[in-house]
Amino acid sequence: MAKRPALGRGLDALIMMDDLRTEGSSSINEVPLSKIQPNPDQPRRVFDEEALRELAVSIKQLGVIQPITLRKIDDENYQIIAGERRYRASMIAQQKTIPAYIKTADDENVMEMALIENIQREDLNSIEIALAYQNLIETYNLTQEQLSERIGKKRTTIANYLRLLKLPAGIQMAIRDKKIDMAHARTLVTIEDPAVQLEVYELIMSEDLSVRKVEEYVRAINKGDTLEEIIQEKEVVNLAKKGNINQATPEEFDILKKHLSKFFDAKVQLSCNDKGKGKITIAFSSDEELERIITKFDQIKK
Q: Among 27, 25, 82, 86, which Cα is nearest to 60's?
A: 86
CB-based contacts of 10, cutoff 8 Å, min separation 6: 116, 120
Q: Among 176, 178, 210, 175, which Cα is nearest to 189's?
A: 175
Q: Among 230, 225, 217, 158, which Cα is nearest to 188's?
A: 217
pLDDT band (50, 70, 90) for residue 134: confident
State the pLDDT at residue 16. Answer: 35
* Averaged pLDDT of the chain: 78
List pLDDT tens digits, range 49-78.
888 899 899 998 888 888 888 888 888 899
pLDDT band (50, 70, 90) for residue 189: very high
State the pLDDT at residue 75. Answer: 82
pLDDT at 147 over 80: yes
State the pLDDT at residue 193. Answer: 92
pLDDT at 178 over 70: yes
pLDDT band (50, 70, 90) for residue 6: very low
pLDDT at 95 over 80: yes
State the pLDDT at residue 153. Answer: 85
pLDDT at 5 over 70: no
Write down the domain spans for the chain: 11-164, 246-302
CB-based contacts of 44, cutoff 8 Å, min separation 6: 84, 85, 114, 118, 123, 124, 128
- Examine the residue annotation and report whether 84 is marked as an active-site residue of this protein: yes
When the candidates are 3.90.1530.30, 3.40.50.10240, 3.40.50.10420, 3.40.50.720, the CATH number that belongs to 11-164 is: 3.90.1530.30
pLDDT band (50, 70, 90) for residue 12: very low
Strands 97-104 and 21-23 turn out to be: antiparallel
Task: Give CA separation, 264 vs 210, 225, 284, in Å.
Answer: 30, 15, 10
33 with 97: CB under 8 angstroms? yes
Sign of the Cα torsion 45, 15, 75, 139 reads negative
Minimum mean pLDDT range among 65-79, 90-104, 164-178, 277-291: 277-291
State the pLDDT at residue 94. Answer: 94
Tell me what the mean pLDDT of segment 6-16 comes to: 38
pLDDT band (50, 70, 90) for residue 142: confident
Q: Who has greater pLDDT, 116 or 208?
A: 208
List pLDDT tens digits, range 245-300.
555 556 666 777 777 777 778 887 776 666 666 778 888 888 888 888 888 777 76
pLDDT at 24 over 50: no
Distance CA 172, CA 125 (A): 10
Catalytic member of 23, 30, 84, 149: 84
List pLDDT tens digits, range 205-227.
988 989 998 998 898 888 888 88
